[in-house]
Structure 1
Amino acid sequence: MSDLNLSSVARSRGEQLAGLIALVTGAGRGIGRACALACAAAGAEVIAVARTEADLAALAAAHPRIRPMIADVAADEFPARIRALPHLDILINNAGTNRLQPLPEVDVATLDHLLHLNVRSAFLVSQAAALRMLELGRGGSIVHISSQMGHVGGPKRAVYCMTKHAIEGLTKAMAVELASAGIRVNAVAPTIVETPMTAPFFEDPAYRQFALSTIPMGRVAQPEDVAEAVVYLASPAAGLVTGTSLRVDGGATAQ
């Protein structure tokens, strides 16, 4: 490709989300941080949500189009803060967690914690965003961060799989219900991603080898791999894409 064409591609990529307002939850670290930076680089004004002020300050310092919002997405009052936003075009519904436990050892506290954050909070956040987009009447894009475990099962992940299968179902239902308003709803389903949350797992060589053995492409995903898919689904380039789940999994679920 010529230098001229490369420049045109770069300009086009840089303007994918120009003029749009994006809200990214769980933006302090890992996938959320990468999504906030990628959306800002693609031209969006980004509202980055996390609980830790220091993480958000570092993120805001990394790009001038990122505005921090210190908040707990699981708090009862958080949906009202979304409804109060002057403008909202994109939601990256990323906040979530995981705890690895064999099925017989799953305790009620873990069950409740994952259901509360991964399902209840994810639903209420996306509901509030959808309501705000409907009020504004200019369409929008909601991208749920799901997982390959929303498509398959895995050991020590019974509760996590359950929550991510719920997100996949929510994606389809919201897409159908909101399509007539021009609001697209999709999911990104990554394989195991190397993030601060998963870093303790990767300290175990056996776990790293296990992770690599499940991915035909032979490498562990990085947050930026997920962020690129998110930007595509959030952008007008995916204007007729809704109700789908884009698996960023190196072929893991194709086996």
Structure 2
Amino acid sequence: MSFEQSFNGKSVLITGAGKGIGRALALKLSQIGAKVFALSRTESDLQSLVNESPSIIPISVDLQDWDATKKAVQSCGVLDVVLNVAGVGHEEPFLEITPTIFDEIININLKAVVNVSQTAAQGMIKAGRGGSIVNISSRMAHRAFKDCSIYSTSKAAVDQLTKSMCLELGQHSIRVNSINLGGVWTPMWATTFTSGGSGRQNYDEYAARVVQRIPAGKPFIPMEDVVNTVLFTASDCTSMLTGANIALDGGYTVT
């Protein structure tokens, strides 16, 4: 079964759809015939997304607002697929973490996944046709990185939440998986590392350090790999794949 066959006519909600991975997924899914609901808190990002693909349905909401988010998800009707992509992270030493930083990371990376998935799953169960939920996690759920303690904690929680959701939603034919990503080459990374001068040097240092831990030999995961892995996991091609934390990191977490 091709992606086109699997997603054509399906209703898909993507959080964090304004930039990066979420945007790439929204564009690909709209291209292959899915009915895409793109959720982001940045209206200008949504507008540029719709300009590029007019069939996409934009939803502007702050995931930290529980009630507004629930209403936004309910407005999509019955969904077939939910892709929880939205996430934030701050590089802060453990001793300098503030309640504000803690709350933002946990609210968006974990609490919003609960809210969006819970609301969508209730609709799927009522409709009686099952569905698929994919949560974007990180290699940091399994490997500690300096100055990323709360981000890592939030992603470890997402992985365990994924397993718990699988256990409770499986009886309703709802599959739940997470994708543990390594570094993904996005416009943000490109701006950071290829601006010339010290940026170039920082990229070389980063790449040399990280590649030592990646058997596949590349410092970043190509966006196409991310899109294909998420779509395969979410698709009807994988009817028995559920409760998995799938590492897409070039082998980083086996070293």
Which residue pairs with 1:6 in the alignment?
A: none
Q: Distance in 1 between matches of 2:47 and 2:224?
A: 20
From 171, 175, 185, the equivalent of 1:194 is 185
1:29 aligns with 2:10: no
Q: Distance in 2 between matches of 1:61 and 1:252?
A: 37
- CA shift, 1:223, in A, is 2.8
4+ residue runs over 6 A deviation = none
TM-score (norm 1): 0.89
Tell me the amino acid that sits aligned with residue 177 of structure 2. Answer: N
Tell me the amino acid that sits aligned with residue 229 of structure 1. Answer: T
Residues 72-109 of structure 1: CA distance to partner in whole angstroms, max 9, x if unpaired? 22212111221232221110011111111222232332
* Unpaired stretches in structure 1, ≥5 consecutive residues: 1-8
TM-score (norm 2): 0.89
Which residue pairs with 1:172 in the alignment?
A: 163
Which residue pairs with 1:103 in the alignment?
A: 94
Which residue pairs with 2:196 in the alignment?
A: none
Q: Distance in 2 between matches of 1:141 and 1:114?
A: 24
Of 232-241 and 107-116, more deviation after overlay is shown by 107-116
Which residue pairs with 1:215 in the alignment?
A: 214
From 107, 110, 113, the equivalent of 1:119 is 110
Tell me the amino acid that sits aligned with residue 163 of structure 1. Answer: S
Which residue pairs with 1:131 in the alignment?
A: 122
Cα distance change of structure 1 residues 149 and 177 upon mapping to structure 2, 3 Å threshold = same
Q: Distance in 2 between matches of 1:124 and 1:155?
A: 29
Q: Secondary structure at the match of 2:7?
A: coil
Cα distance change of structure 1 residues 136 and 197 upon mapping to structure 2, 3 Å threshold = farther
Q: Secondary structure at the match of 1:47?
A: strand
Cα distance change of structure 1 residues 198 and 107 upon mapping to structure 2, 3 Å threshold = farther
Q: Distance in 2 between matches of 1:107 and 1:195?
A: 28
Q: Distance in 2 between matches of 1:151 and 1:40?
A: 33
Cα distance change of structure 1 residues 133 and 79 upon mapping to structure 2, 3 Å threshold = same
Q: What's the % identity of the aligned pairs?
A: 37
- CA shift, 1:165, in A, is 0.3
Cα distance change of structure 1 residues 150 and 85 upon mapping to structure 2, 3 Å threshold = same
Cα distance change of structure 1 residues 201 and 153 upon mapping to structure 2, 3 Å threshold = farther
1:73 aligns with 2:72: no
When the two chains are superposed, the root-mean-square deviation of aligned CA atoms in Å is 1.9
Tell me the amino acid that sits aligned with residue 109 of structure 1. Answer: T
Cα distance change of structure 1 residues 107 and 200 upon mapping to structure 2, 3 Å threshold = farther
Q: Distance in 1 between matches of 2:208 and 2:104?
A: 29
Of 129-138 and 57-66, more deviation after overlay is shown by 57-66
Of 139-148 and 153-162, more deviation after overlay is shown by 153-162
Q: Distance in 2 between matches of 1:26 and 1:215?
A: 27
From 44, 51, 54, the equivalent of 1:61 is 51
Residues 21-77 of structure 1: CA distance to partner in whole angstroms, max 9, x if unpaired? 000000000011111122223331110111222211222233344221122222121
Tell me the amino acid that sits aligned with residue 20 of structure 1. Answer: K
Q: How many residues align?
A: 245
| Equivalent pair of 1:16/1:42 in contact (CA under 8 Å) | no
Which residue pairs with 1:52 in the alignment?
A: 42
Q: Secondary structure at the match of 2:13?
A: strand
Of 49-58 and 197-206, more deviation after overlay is shown by 197-206
